[in-house]
Structure 1
Amino acid sequence: MSGIPFILSAALQVLGVIVVSFAGIAVLASYLRHEEQADAAADSSSAQSSEAEFVKQLGETLRSARRDRCPVAVVSLGGFPEGFLLSPESEVVQTVRAALRRDDVVSGFDTRLGFILGAGKDVLPGILKRVQEVVRRVQPAIQLRAGIAVYPEDGDRAGDLWSRAMSSETEWPPVNVMERTAGAILTASQLAAEGRKFFVRREKNGEPVSLIVLDVDFLPRYAERYGGEAVDVIQRALGLFLRGAVRVNDLVGRFEGGEWAIVLSCRPQAALQIAGRILEGVKALSIVHADSTLKIAVSAGVAGSPENGRAMGVLVEAASSALREIRAQGRGLCLLYQGTPKSANPPKDHSASAF
């Protein structure tokens, strides 16, 4: 019986340690929650302060504009991932700032950029196009939205102009701009029509034509893991990258089956080198989707005229045949078609007769 008090004492000591440990954990959890809330409040306060400074700077610019009778444009450019632009020294802000004139102003506010430009509405499309090109080199998957307010037409108060710019954000560039052939991403029907014209013009002038057909490797796996929306994000990012990787007069578009096509005015060997550079560039892309950063690879088949045939449909068959051969051997490669075009099997996802 004399050992019972000792056992009880030891048990009470162990229980005390457990209680103290749980209390310590609770205190630590409370502290961490407090720190997270403080960080969130600091971020929010920083963003609000930055935006207030931007509006203040806009007010100063407007005072000078009234004196000098100069127009001022305020632009809100949205569509960025949340938290992407909190730092004024972020890559996007710095890259865009370098593309603007010295007196123009750009600031980042979480999901949007704010611009103060010494320009009227007539020159804004050109400025926005330059900004769009810069932003998409840094983040190709972003779909931009632009809102514009101009002094004096839309008002003369800084806060009102900035609010008007933010509330009027719409997709940029507008749909009618993207539908132009030069520098556009073509639909399947546009690709077929413009591809035929492209080939006939070059053939008439004795110029070579080459075709690159490429596709994302293991694309269904992204849909299985991240959902169908991820595939749309990937394809959009890839299209923007491809459009920026070739000359403005080259054609970039998608077949009905989803493969990408690039029509070039060059010899097949040159097109093969371009395809190789594209494959390396795609590997370096970081595509932001929800909370994930996606990495992709592509494979490409290449064919050219007159080496592989003198009709656009024949080149489609040849390049698609080369792409199928890559898929049978592996992924992440580009291959120049070496066989006879007539022996190539018709593509499964699109028809050469479309051309």
Structure 2
Amino acid sequence: MTTQADIEIVGAGPAGLTCAIILAKAGRRVTVREWRRDVGHRFHDDFQGLENWTARQDVLAELAEAGITADFAHHGVRKGIVFDSRARPHPVQGKRPLFYLLRRGNADGTLDRALLDQARAAGAKVRFNDHVETAAGNMVLAGGPRRADIIAVGQVFDTDMADGAWLAVNDALAPKGYAYLLVHAGRGTVASCLFTGFHDQAKYLAATVEFFQRHAGLEIENPRPFGGFGNVRLARTAMQGGYPVVGEHAGFQDALAGFGLRYAIRSGTLAAHSLLGGTDYTRAWREQLLPGLRAGVVNRFMFNTTGARAKDYLIGRVGEGDTAPALARTYGLSLPKRLMFPLARLRYRAPLKDPSCNHLNCDCVWCQHGTHTITKT
């Protein structure tokens, strides 16, 4: 690639926009092509967490190092409550923020709008309603998830509740997943994050709302429904037709809990640096992302095969002392996890196949989301 070569990025999610910002700041001519009419089309001003425990470096410092300004609304969360399967509360806390609470969507203050503004300010062109049919020239593929392995169904709302973060691990609320409640500055998000049972999403959301009303004092005003989905996949090269693939388009997603934002930003950064320096993108992401991705697969396998009592015990242990180091160890690829990985890789996919939804005449989150290609596996 020459200095003057134009670069097209297909997709205006966090991975694609991060890549665009870095390339444009380096003087490249960049065009981002997004087939939707705006950024953040999969989100509805709902709260999400930008995790801050898988690396020693604070994630905001990591963003700054990549050239991304944290000018989106964010709030560091150091404390929370995790409910086990018997609804027993376990406080968790960190010496530094366990995660940063931020908003997703196209409104001012959201992560998506902030990254769009930064890309344009750096000189990148962004074209919406632009559906790419074929890849050509110099491209980065950042089209988002291609299938639904995880769905979140919930409500965003106004509230007089005090700020807080609550998590519940209970199959009656979210089979093979978890339910969460996030409240900050008079607004909140409550959701069930499902790894199976998509067709019964309404039942699980109703159970989740009732649970947090009873155990966390949930108060909801002006509820607005929302839904989202994620794709979990272990890529081989993260190259498609010779083009780098980033974010959830490559399947870069935490298989245990679905935390993909940090992976998206990191992969967009690695792709940009590979184009600027002529380095091997596959080698870069395999060195920097693959160990954590593999640890997530083992974590998911263990979660799927561990009984409720063992999960309750582990939840209690995580809440002892500073939670961040305990979570970091969970996402480390230790020797036992390396040995377990081949089995986990073979087995973890099966529970993610959702027999409750065949994506025909269905109103689950995935099927409601719009035009997409159904991949039979």
**TM-score band, normalised by shorter chain:** under 0.3
Structure 2 length-normalised TM: 0.21
TM-score, normalising length from structure 1? 0.22
Q: Which has the larger radius of gyration?
A: 1
Structure 1 or 2: larger strand share? 2
Greater RCO, CA 8 A, separation 6+? 2
Higher helix fraction: Structure 1 or Structure 2?
A: 1
